[in-house]
Amino acid sequence: MPVFKTPFNGYSVKFSPFYESRLAVATAQNFGILGNGRIHVLDLSPTAPTLSQLVSFDTADGVYDLSWSESHDSLLVAATADGSVKIYDTALPPTANPIRSLHEHTREVHSTDYNPTRRDSFLTASWDDTIKLWTVDRPTSVRTFKEHAYCVYNAAWNPRHSDVFCSASGDCTLRIWDVREAGSTMIIPAHEFEILACDWNKYDDCVIASASVDKSIKLWDVRNYRVPITVLNGHGYAVRRVKFSPHRRNVLASCSYDMTVCLWDFMVEDALVARYDHHTEFAVGVDMSVLVEGLLASTGWDELVYVWQQGMDPRAV
Amino acid sequence: MEKALNRQKILLQHLKPTSFSSSQTDQSPSLSASICAAGDSAAYHRQAVFSDDVVLVAAYRTAICKAKRGGFKNTHADDLLAHVLKALIEKTKLNPSEVGDIVVGTVLAPGSLRAMECRMAAFYAGVPETVPIRTVNRQCSSGLQAVADVATAIKAGLYDIGIGAGLECMTVDSMGSHRQINPKVEIFAQARDCLLPMGITSENVAQRYGVTRQEQDLAAVESHRRAAAATASGKFKDEIIPVSTKIVDPKTGSEKPVTISVDDSIRPNTNMADLAKLKPAFKKDGATTAGNSSQLSDGAGAVLLMKRSVAMQKGLPILGVFRSFSAVGVDPAVMGIGPAVAIPAAVRSAGLELSDIDLFEINEAFASQYVYCCKKLELDPEIVNVNGGAIALGHPLGATGARCVATLLHEMKRRGKDCRFGVISMCIGSGMGAAAVFERGDCVDELCNVRIVESNALLSKDAQ
């Protein structure tokens, strides 16, 4: 299965929503603590199991996350550790990039998510406790959502309602927001420890998954949020990222500080479908391809990017 | 810095192994950042991969053959060089016109004549007239100096691709014919010592540092044993370029075409008893014999170096990274101790400790100095000259450095990821030592990022 070695520590990997063979990787030097960052745009070879680099962009600080534009096949949004949000056009040479650098967050930007339904805006979640809403054409943010009491690690759009998103924070709450409303519409005290990630189910717009430092993933129904639908235990350390399958209603992927990537089916009793232990350091980035069913990608602090088909061994040559 | 500490704090909080649902983790100690204690090389601050690193993508040599009696006794020196240059270009599919310079280490042959022969060899190898070539002479380390010179020029940006080579034909050129000597040397003791026969300097080392005849013979036996084992298991096949040449029968004068692809000076049955019978070669009561000294040989080697970015672009495998080179001076009377001084210098300038080095290739000019250097640096004999050295393989002076690079890099490749840093060193007649540090190429094993992108529709035209 294809493997790519990045010079810096991996932080995030995302498949392009336009090209089935393309993906982007966010990396940061020295584990994102100190140093530069780099974004790699990679292409899977149609014939050989190799990943080749199309282009890379250097940044002055680590890149923690990125998301592809849903409206333009060459646009990328990057969340960087110096608090800036940068927009890259992969069709332009590195010297002409980034095409925008938006400085509003006062601390590290930890995640970004492009609106998949309206396709004109994106969210950024930052360690300055805020979430900001942006559009590509405006030089300043459209709105700032400030309610969380600690770092916001993740924000994710609802796949059906173009104004609704959820956010995960170190203040141990999960919040649901509607852009049309003044404040958050729902606060779920989902875990007793920091929450590092959240995602919406792609087939049921009421189901959210939250991933926490308490090693568990919990699934919530927003119509009845007092108790979780189910709790997925199995990771040995904090769960860093969670992602619902674009193809299967019940399937989600997660990655953790325990260096593994797990696939879950939350509707069955033995929820853990597969555990991949190919990374040798913290696994912090995972994604599932929208265009190719069962195609997974992961990255971690071991500076490796793996792409593999569900059921196969990522390390198999 | 405060920012880094804050980031570290936030990430460490993610790792606090506290889980309210399970009680057995209550006693687990709290986590804090500390220096990683894992593994040997972990102590070394990990260097990032830079696109302007100087990398070695190929290293080949001819077989090393006995002077006057061996396989190359009727082969022209320039033919030897031409063969390795040609193989280097063919095996890497390099366009020779892209080479910025060729530097050849060579010692005994008359300087200007040899420079011309090298230029001719380049033509025999199919190198176009536009590519320059020059020679370098730092005695026994000339081959390594050639590699270092090319690496330096690439690092300085003078060109992107270069070849470091070495050539010596001791069948034709011999040591020891001095021209008229300046009488001033009698006043300068160290200048006079430069004229000492090398064998005497070996005796000096043995005497001054107490290396016994038995230790020297033992080193010679081990050298032959390891070289024989390496040859038998085909380890040298990756690095040796077979040379088609001829051998003339001295009695009948008839020519016979041959292909030389094996080192012919190794004696697998060398043993202590036989070596003990040999008489000292340089001094009546000495310990240096023909059996525990390096052999006179013919041979050539060549190494292709380039910038990492160029290697990636061309899809060439990265065999190793050139990390540092040091040449140092020592007392000419004990010139053999050179490696004991040069190795720590080179290792230090690479930012490493001696204990970080996983493999050594130290030239065995004489068993006395080789044994002394290993003892002085407290090296583990299991990682020094694992495939034998010059006592068994021979020491074609100018070519030895390039030969060592080929042997070291291919052995590092075989040993895999645990073998990260390698050192090559040799002593230098007239009192010097040279050493270089190489790091394995990080993508040698299973990872292969290097691939030429056939179509890059994404990049705009001016970016191509």
Is pLDDT above 50 for B464?
Answer: no
The contacts of residue B382 (CB under 8 Å, 6+ apart) are: none
Reported as a pLDDT band with limits 50, 70 and 90, residue B460 is: low
Sheet holding A251-256, edge to edge: A239-244, A251-256, A261-265, A272-276
Q: What is the mean pLDDT of chain B?
A: 88
Among B9, B456, B458, B464, the residue to mutate for chain A (most A Cβ within 10 A): B458
Residue contact B459–A108, C-beta within 8 A: no
Going across the sheet that includes A37-44, the strands are A9-15, A22-28, A37-44, A51-59
Q: Choose, out of B2, B9, B10, the residue to mutate when testing the contact with A (most A CBs < 10 Å).
A: B10
CB contact under 8 A, A213 and B14: yes
Give residue B422's pLDDT. Answer: 96
pLDDT greater than 50 at residue B97: yes
> What is the distance, to the nearest Å, from the Cα of residue A130 to the centroid of all Cα atoms in its chain?
17
Residues in Cβ contact with B99 at an 8 Å cutoff, skipping those fewer than 6 apart: B127, B131, B159, B161, B162, B163
Residue A263 has pLDDT above 90, yes or no: yes
A30 min Cα distance to partner chain B (Å): 9
Which residues touch A249 (CB under 8 Å, ≥6 apart)? A201, A202, A203, A204
User: Can you give the residue ranges of every domain in chain A?
Assistant: 3-309
Confidence class for position A317, pLDDT limits 50, 70, 90: low
Closest Cβ opposite residue A52 in set B4, B13, B451: B451
For B446, the closest of A108, A170, A317 (CB atoms) is: A317
Whole-angstrom Cα distance, residue A87 to residue B247? 69
Instruction: Flag the least confident range among B48-57, B87-96, B376-385.
Output: B48-57
- φ and ψ at B345, to 5 degrees? -65, -45
Mean pLDDT of B341-352: 94
Query: Tens digit of pLDDT for each residue in A36-45?
Result: 999 999 999 8
One-letter identity of residue B307: K
Q: Work out the pLDDT band at B448, boundaries 50, 70, 90.
A: very low
By CB neighbour count within 10 A (0-12 exposed, 13-18 middle, 19+ buried), where does B437 fall?
Answer: buried
Name the token pair of A2. Answer: 């294809």
Listed by start position, the domains of chain B span 54-173+187-440
d(CA A299, CA A255): 9
| Nearest CA-CA distance, residue A247 and chain B, Å | 28
Q: Choosing among B19, B47, B313, which should be mutated to test the A contact, i.e. which has the most A CBs within 10 A?
A: B19
The string of DSSP letters for B322-359 reads EEEEEEEE--GGGGGGHHHHHHHHHHHHTT--GGG--E
Nearest CA in chain B to A216: B19
Which of A244-248, B40-44, B82-86 has the lowest average pLDDT?
B40-44
Q: Which CATH superfamily is domain A3-309 in?
A: YVTN repeat-like/Quinoprotein amine dehydrogenase (2.130.10.10)
Q: Is the pLDDT of residue B339 over 90?
A: yes
Confidence of residue A209 (pLDDT cuts 50, 70, 90): very high
**Residue B450 pLDDT more than 50?**
no
Segment B288-312 shows an average pLDDT of: 94
Classify residue B196 by burial, with Cβ atoms within 10 Å: 0-12, 13-18, 19+: buried
Cα(B154)–Cα(B152) distance, integer angstroms: 5
- E strand or H helix at B310, and its extent? helix B308-314
Specify the pLDDT at position B15.
86
pLDDT at B177: 66
The pLDDT tens digits for A93-112 are: 888 889 999 999 999 999 99
Out of B395, B404, B410, B419, pick the active-site residue.
Answer: B395
pLDDT band at residue A154 using 50, 70 and 90 as cut-offs: very high
Six-digit token string for A305 = 């990017």
Residues 231-260 of A with CB under 8 A from B: 237-238, 240, 257
Helices of type H across B48-197: 77-92, 111-124, 142-156, 189-193
pLDDT band at B423 (very low <50, low <70, confident <90, very high): very high
pLDDT value at residue B212: 95
Q: Which residue has the tokens 């033992």?
A: B218
Q: What is the CB neighbour count within 10 angstroms for residue B46?
A: 10
Cβ neighbours around A58 below 10 Å, total:
12
Annotation says B45 is catalytic: no
A250 pLDDT above the threshold of 80: yes
Asked if A194 and B13 come within 8 Å (Cβ–Cβ), the reply is yes
**Nearest residue, CB atoms, A33 vs list B8, B21, B449:** B8
Distances in Å between the alpha carbon of B291 and those of B114, B208, B272, B306? 30, 21, 10, 40
Question: Are the beta carbons of B334 and B193 closer than 8 angstroms?
Answer: no
Q: What type of residue is B223?
A: S
Antiparallel, parallel or unpaired: β A84-89 and A100-103: antiparallel
What pLDDT does A57 receive? 94
The residues, ordered by sequence, that sit 6+ positions from B267 with a Cβ below 8 Å of its Cβ are: B224, B228, B392
- Write down the pLDDT at residue B21: 37
State the average pLDDT over residues B369-394. 95
- Note which residues in 196-225 of chain A have CB less than 8 A from chain B: 196, 213-216
Q: Which two tokens stand for residue A247?
A: 């193809």
From the candidates B140, B169, B373, B404, which is the catalytic residue?
Answer: B140
Q: Give chain A positions within 8 Å (CB) of B462.
A: 93
Q: Is it the case that residue A233 has pLDDT exceeding 70?
A: yes
Question: Which residue in B19, B446, B458 is closest to A214 by CB distance?
Answer: B19
**Whether A32 and B11 lie within 8 Å, measured CB to CB:** yes
ipTM of the complex: 0.88
Q: For residues A285 and A281, give the distance between their C-alpha atoms in angstroms, rounded to a whole number.
A: 12
- Return the closest-CA partner of residue B325 out of B343, B303, B298: B343
Lowest-pLDDT choice from A249-258, B68-77, B409-418, B435-444: B435-444
Q: What amino acid occupies position B193?
A: D
Q: What is the arithmetic mean of pLDDT over A289-302?
A: 94
SS (H, E, C) B237-270: HHCECCEEEEEECCCCCCEEEEEECCCCCCCCCC
Beta carbons of B313 and B297 less than 8 angstroms apart: no
The answer to whether A99 contacts chain B (CB < 8 Å) is no
**Do residues B297 and B396 touch, judged by C-beta distance below 8 A?**
yes
* Interface contact A193, partner B, CB < 8 A: yes
Percent of chain B with pLDDT over 70: 87
pLDDT score, position B462? 56
The chain A residue lying nearest B443, using CA atoms, is: A5
pLDDT at B102 over 70: yes
Length of chain B: 464
Residue B409: pLDDT above 80? yes
Of the candidate ranges A146-155, B307-316, B434-443, the one whose mean pLDDT is the lowest? B434-443
The arrangement of secondary structure in B54-173+187-440, i.e. its CATH architecture, is 3-Layer(aba) Sandwich (3.40)
